[in-house]
Amino acid sequence: MEKTLFEKIADGEIPADIVYQDPQCVAFRDISPVAPQHVLLVPRKPIPSLSDAGAEDAALLGHLMLTASLIAEQLGLSGQGYRVVANTGVAAGQTVPHLHFHILGGRTLEWPPG
Ligand code: AMP
């Protein structure tokens, strides 16, 4: 199967501004940021969306959440607050079919989201 865009970034085949990586995941700055700090955290495993994650992915999902917290701290967002979002499916506006978490911060974020 053809690699997803985010697999290609994780494998270094497409350049990105990487802020964190480990054997399970990679985080890089979003190419079209919607906040002063906007990082995408993706597992190296090409799970299409959160809906496609299974029980076998429980440890990976836990690792991703803890890593999101670590990255937020690295970006200096822990004190002021930040948001972690996984757009899932068409109605939520997911455009890249590879599970990813947006880490957003650096400004006040509205609620509810649009
Ligand atoms: P989503 O709409 O939730 O699927 O998010 C996909 C995100 O990927 C969008 O915020 C895009 O701006 C971002 N994006 C698309 N291509 C790239 C790229 N080559 N490098 C970094 N971010 C990208």
Residue 110 inside a domain? The answer is no
Q: What is the CATH number of the domain that holds 44?
A: 3.30.428.10
Can you tell me which atom of ligand 1 is nearest the CA of 29? 21
Residue 96 inside a domain? The answer is yes
pLDDT score for 1: 81
Q: Are 28 and 39 in contact (CB under 8 A)?
A: yes
Identify the domain containing residue 16 by its residue range.
Answer: 5-105
Stretch 77-81: mean pLDDT, rounded?
97
Start-to-end CA span in the chain (Å)? 34
Tell me, what amino acid is at 40?
L
Residue 67 inside a domain? The answer is yes
Distance 99 CA to ligand 1 centre (A): 11
Stretch 25-34: mean pLDDT, rounded?
98
Residue 24 inside a domain? The answer is yes
Tokens describing residue 70: 């670590």
Within 8 A by CB and 6+ apart from 105, the residues are 35, 36, 37, 72, 75, 77, 80, 81, 82, 83
CB burial of 87-112 (b: ≥16 within 10 Å; e: otherwise) equals: bbeeeeebeeebbbbbbbbeeeeeee
- 82 pLDDT more than 90: yes
Percent of the chain with pLDDT strictly greater than 70 = 100
Q: Are 28 and 16 in contact (CB under 8 A)?
A: yes
Residue 16 inside a domain? The answer is yes
Residue 111 inside a domain? The answer is no
Distance 39 CA to ligand 1 centre (A): 10
Residue 95 inside a domain? The answer is yes
- Identify the band that residue 114 occupies on the pLDDT scale cut at 50, 70 and 90: confident
Residue nearest to atom 15 of ligand 1 (CA): 31
Q: Are 50 and 98 in contact (CB under 8 A)?
A: no
Q: Residues with Cβ within 6 A of ligand 1?
A: 5, 16, 28, 30-32, 40, 87, 93-96
Q: Is the pTM of this model over 0.85?
A: yes
- Identify the band that residue 46 occupies on the pLDDT scale cut at 50, 70 and 90: very high
Domains in the chain: how many in total? 1
- 48 pLDDT more than 90: yes
Distance 100 CA to ligand 1 centre (A): 9
- 43 pLDDT more than 90: yes
Residue 72 inside a domain? The answer is yes
